């Protein structure tokens, strides 16, 4: 009651109509609601609670809150508190919005509301007046319930000590037998027990064309559970000497099911969960095939729960046949965590072993393929970004050897021999550098013509890469490679003298630039090398030089 802030009074008109059966105890409650002594109109939120006493007591049920239509004070609501009507007194408590009304209303059944449905019949049908004879039961004859023989058709027949039945199907525990002999039992009981204490078989089942024994379970332990305390629990055998015969076949249709499961609970010894053998020279002891031609399925899954165990052991050669490509490899090793996948190589000298280990890291540069020895550790390391390390786990370049490398012939694609030096000022590839007289061990741009401190040219200009780099240590990562031999492009100044191939080059007055030697006497000790390309007089630019410091 959103607009009602105070409930001043309640006049309740109860016309209780009870229609109670074994499954439904619903009644309709009608009332009259006033506020400020005026009838209420509108949709009101109401909650109904049923108690065993006028005050306190036990709460038997609640209906609501429900929106109830009130017109001129009158409202009607159907209530169902469940099977709570035992004949004892009941009181109804009503809540209007947030206001609980008092006192509670006593609920009484209307006259004749609860009666026996049919006092003179059975299931609403008449019963014959005839008295039954000994052994007879009531049976429906189409008109009335009348006494009749229990086995009036004499379905069971006796022959000496043998009793038999040939009239049709027999059901035990079911009134709708599906086959000649149908036994049905409830939960926790055995449907049938066959006990044979002498020699022979406990039960023999034969079929001329179809299945001899068919075991089905919908939720239990097993379709067929065969146990033996001496030899075989289940023995399957196919005696035909031709055709595709099957001794034991297991089929499961559940996504998590197992067609055949073999278990061995022995805690010691060479116990087998399953043993398959063939005596044919070209036979197959185990043939596993995943029939679906799509999806990620498996012909065989073998697993061990022991951390030191093996999922499979092959005592003999192993052959794998497949059609593979980059996305479907013939052999895949999958590590179940983020560590290395490993292949181990051992022999009778068990003190030493090899591993080939592969790691998928967080980035391409973190990927590793390592060749590892138990005594020497990682020997060769390949990274995902194309680096190879020999005796180093973190190769810094394409081939990083932590030791001595020996080759018969070494072909280098680069054009010069360079060495890394620290610099006391910024330089660019192609600039001529000199020994810094103010900072021992450092180089800087060459200054002045015929400078005897000339040290070389910064390598890498015009895209001509360095062939060999000396002094490439960890602390030299920010140092510049200075070409001291081989071919390199150099900045040249030909404003006063043109440069021709074969000219000797020395330093110029333009810092970092070379020029052609005009005075051999002054150039002694300041020669940079010989020009291999031409630069016209009056220009500055780049010249290919054959470095030869002297």
- What CATH number does residue 472 fall under? 2.40.300.10
DSSP string, 164-227: EE-SS-EEES-SS-SSSEEE---TTS-S------SSS-S-----SSS-S-----SSSS-SS---
Distance between CA 283 and CA 302 in Å, rounded?
Answer: 22
Distance between CA 473 and CA 73 in Å, rounded?
Answer: 98
| CATH number of the domain that residue 60 is part of | 2.60.40.380
pTM attached to this predicted model: 0.51
Q: Which of 89, 107, 125 is the last residue of a domain?
A: 107
Q: Which of 401, 424, 440 is the last residue of a domain?
A: 401
Q: Supply 309's token pair.
A: 């165990």
**383 and 434 both lie in a single domain:** no
**420 and 543 both lie in a single domain:** yes
CB 463 within 8 A of CB 442: no
Q: Is the pLDDT of residue 527 over 90?
A: yes
**372 and 485 both lie in a single domain:** no
**436 and 540 both lie in a single domain:** yes
Please report whether residue 54 resides in a domain.
yes
DSSP state of 328: B
**457 and 500 both lie in a single domain:** yes
**542 and 445 both lie in a single domain:** yes
Please report whether residue 534 resides in a domain.
yes
Q: What is the pLDDT, as a whole number, of residue 62?
A: 94
Distance between CA 124 and CA 112 in Å, rounded?
Answer: 19
Q: Name the percent of the chain lying above pLDDT 90.
A: 36
Distance between CA 265 and CA 75 in Å, rounded?
Answer: 71
pLDDT band at residue 140 using 50, 70 and 90 as cut-offs: confident
Distance between CA 92 and CA 85 in Å, rounded?
Answer: 13
Can you give the residue range of the structural domain that contains 58? 9-107
Q: Is the pLDDT of residue 120 over 60?
A: no
DSSP state of 102: S
Please report whether residue 411 resides in a domain.
no
Please report whether residue 507 resides in a domain.
yes
Cα radius of gyration (the chain): 51
Q: Which candidate, 373, 468, 366, 362, places its Cα nearest to that of 415? A: 468
Please report whether residue 27 resides in a domain.
yes
- Write out pLDDT tens, residues 410-424: 788 888 899 999 999
DSSP state of 127: B
Rounded-to-10 torsion of CA 544, 547, 548, 550: 100
Residues linked to residue 97 through DSSP beta bridges, in sequence order:
none
Q: Supply 9's token pair.
A: 């009074």
Residues linked to residue 482 through DSSP beta bridges, in sequence order:
419, 458
Residues 6+ apart with CB under 8 A from 291: none
**367 and 444 both lie in a single domain:** no
**476 and 430 both lie in a single domain:** yes
Q: Is the pLDDT of residue 56 over 50?
A: yes
Distance between CA 366 and CA 383 in Å, rounded?
Answer: 7
Q: Is the pLDDT of residue 9 over 50?
A: no
Q: Is the pLDDT of residue 87 over 80?
A: no
**435 and 389 both lie in a single domain:** no
- Write out pLDDT tens, residues 259-272: 788 888 787 877 78
Rounded to an integer, what is the distance from CA 525 to the centroid of its chain?
73
Q: CA-based diameter of the chain, in Å?
A: 154
Q: Which of 39, 74, 107 is the last residue of a domain?
A: 107
Q: 464-498: b or e for each residue (b if 16 or more CB lie within 10 Å)?
A: bebbebeeeeeebeebbbbbbbbbbbbbbbbeebe
Q: How many residues does the chain have?
A: 550
Q: Is the pLDDT of residue 1 over 60?
A: no
**19 and 89 both lie in a single domain:** yes
Among 28-37, 40-49, 268-277, 489-498, the minimum mean pLDDT is found in 268-277
- For 245, list phi and psi in degrees, rounded to 5: -95, 155
Q: Hunting for tokens 């009181």 — which residue is that?
A: 91
Strands 454-458 and 480-494: antiparallel
Q: How many CA atoms lie within 13 A of 436 on its CB side?
A: 14
Please report whether residue 535 resides in a domain.
yes
* Distance, first Cα to last Cα, the chain: 108
Among 194-198, 398-402, 436-440, the minimum mean pLDDT is found in 194-198
User: Averaged over 104-130, what is the pLDDT?
Assistant: 63
Alpha-helical segments (H) within 21-153: none
- Write out pLDDT tens, residues 346-375: 898 878 899 999 999 999 988 999 999 988
- CB count, 10 Å around CB of 70? 21
Question: How many folded domains does the chain comprise?
Answer: 3
Please report whether residue 153 resides in a domain.
no
Q: Is the pLDDT of residue 526 over 90?
A: yes
CB 383 within 8 A of CB 399: no
Quick one: residue 245, left, alpha or beta (phi over 0 = left, psi -120 to 50 = alpha)?
beta
Q: Hunting for tokens 């001529």 — which residue is that?
A: 432
- CB count, 10 Å around CB of 99? 14
Instruction: Indicate the SS3 state at residue 263.
Output: coil
User: Averaged over 182-209, what is the pLDDT?
Assistant: 76
Q: Is the pLDDT of residue 396 over 60?
A: yes
C-alpha torsion sign, points 328, 333, 339, 342: negative
Please report whether residue 239 resides in a domain.
no
Residues 6+ apart with CB under 8 A from 308: none
**490 and 390 both lie in a single domain:** no
Rounded-to-10 torsion of CA 332, 336, 342, 348: -110
Strands 388-390 and 399-401: parallel
**479 and 426 both lie in a single domain:** yes
Q: 410-448: b or e for each residue (b if 16 or more CB lie within 10 Å)?
A: eeeebbbbbbbbebeeebebbbbbbbbeeeeebbbbbee
- Write out pLDDT tens, residues 316-352: 888 888 888 888 888 888 888 988 999 988 898 878 8
């Amino acid at each position: 009651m959103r607009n009602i802030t105070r409930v001043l009074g309640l006049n309740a008109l109860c016309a209780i109509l009870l229609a109670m059966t074994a499954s439904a105890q619903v009644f309709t409650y009608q009332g009259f609601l006033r506020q400020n002594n005026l009838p209420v109109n509108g949709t009101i939120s109401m909650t109904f609670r049923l108690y065993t006493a006028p005050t306190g007591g036990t709460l038997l049920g609640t209906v609501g809150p429900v929106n109830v239509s009130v017109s001129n004070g009158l409202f009607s609501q159907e209530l169902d508190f469940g099977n709570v009507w035992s004949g004892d007194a009941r009181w109804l408590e009503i809540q209007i919005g947030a206001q609980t009304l008092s006192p509670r209303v006593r609920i009484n059944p209307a006259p004749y509301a609860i009666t026996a449905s049919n006092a003179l019949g059975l299931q609403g049908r008449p019963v014959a007046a005839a008295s039954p004879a000994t052994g007879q039961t009531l049976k429906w004859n189409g008109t009335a319930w009348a006494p009749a023989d229990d086995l009036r058709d004499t379905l069971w027949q006796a022959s000496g000590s043998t009793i038999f039945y040939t009239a049709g199907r027999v059901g035990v525990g079911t009134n709708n037998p599906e086959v000649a002999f149908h036994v049905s039992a409830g939960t926790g009981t055995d449907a049938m027990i066959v006990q044979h204490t002498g020699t022979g078989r406990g039960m023999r089942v034969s079929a001329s064309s179809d299945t001899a024994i068919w075991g089905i379970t919908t939720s239990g332990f097993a379709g067929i559970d065969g146990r033996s305390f001496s030899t075989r629990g289940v023995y399957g055998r196919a005696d035909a000497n031709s055709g595709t015969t099957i001794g034991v076949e297991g089929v499961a249709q559940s996504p998590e099911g197992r067609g055949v499961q073999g278990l061995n609970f022995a805690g010691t010894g060479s116990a087998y969960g399953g043993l398959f053998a063939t005596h044919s020279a070209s036979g197959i002891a185990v043939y596993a095939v995943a029939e679906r031609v799509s999806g990620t399925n498996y012909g065989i899954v073998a697993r061990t729960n022991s951390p030191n165990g093996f999922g499979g052991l092959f005592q003999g050669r192993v052959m794998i046949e497949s059609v593979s490509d980059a996305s479907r490899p013939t052999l895949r090793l999958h590590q179940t965590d983020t560590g290395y996948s490993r292949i181990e190589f051992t022999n009778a000298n068990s003190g030493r072993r090899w591993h080939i280990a592969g790691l998928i890291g967080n980035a391409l540069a973190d990927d590793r393929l390592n060749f590892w020895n138990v005594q020497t550790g990682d020997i060769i390391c390949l990274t995902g970004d194309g680096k190879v390390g020999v005796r180093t786990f973190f190769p810094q370049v394409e081939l990083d050897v932590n030791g001595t490398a020996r080759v018969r012939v070494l072909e280098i694609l680069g054009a010069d021999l360079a060495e890394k030096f620290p610099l006391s000022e910024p330089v660019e590839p192609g600039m001529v550098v000199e020994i810094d007289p103010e900072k021992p061990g450092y180089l800087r741009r060459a200054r002045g013509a015929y400078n005897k401190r000339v040290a070389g040219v910064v390598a890498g200009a015009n895209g001509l890469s360095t062939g060999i780099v000396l002094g490439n240590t960890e602390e030299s990562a920010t140092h510049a490679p200075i070409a001291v031999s081989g071919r390199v492009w150099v900045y040249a100044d030909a404003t006063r003298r043109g440069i021709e191939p074969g000219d000797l080059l020395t330093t110029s007055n333009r810092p970092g630039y070379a020029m052609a030697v005009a005075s051999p006497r002054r150039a002694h000790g300041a020669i940079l090398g010989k020009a291999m390309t031409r630069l016209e007089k009056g220009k500055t630019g780049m010249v290919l030089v054959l470095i030869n410091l002297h």
